Amino acid sequence: MVKTRGWVNAGVLLVGLGILHTTACASRAANGPQSANQSKAPNEVVLFLGGADRQAENDQQEREILRALEDLRSLDPATLKTKRYADYQNAPGQWTLATLLKKYFVSREPHHLDEEALYRDAQSQEGRDVIGRQIRAIREGRQETPSP
């Protein structure tokens, strides 16, 4: 009788685990898109450039920043990885796009810039919008301020 009861208890446990697993899977399937959005990593462009303070010393630097931002907004990630930009002294081909951004922009909050994610996230509408705001600010001779 003890052996039978052990097998019965094990069977009840397995059935209970099966029901729990099925319920969890059904819940995950029903909430899939919401769960995916909740766990989505923040956009690297938004994190770094959104409301960032631009620090350039002259018109040449401003033009190089503008060129880099235009590229970031319009080129694919593979091309962006190969692009090079002038440094502080305007020596051409010295910096990657990510390096240029780190040299000339101070993010609102301390943030380590992930170059791969930056190039990928620039392709999103949200990323392009932030880049566009920075470009407008340069052309208008002002700092970009974050949206309320």
pLDDT in tens, 89-128: 999 999 999 999 999 999 999 989 999 999 999 999 999 9
* Higher pLDDT, residue 100 or 28: 100
- Per the prediction, the chain carries an average pLDDT of 82
Tell me: the pLDDT tens digits for 37-55?
445 789 999 999 999 999 9
Q: In the chain, pLDDT over 90 holds for what percent of residues?
A: 68
Tell me what pLDDT residue 147 has. Answer: 54
Check if the beta carbon of residue 55 is closer than 8 Å to that of residue 106: yes
CA–CA separation, 112 vs 108, rounded Å? 12
* Contact (CB, 8 A) for 131 and 72: yes
Predicted model pTM:
0.72
Tell me the C-alpha distance between 13 and 117, whole Å.
45
Scanning the structure block, which residue is given the tokens 């766990």?
39
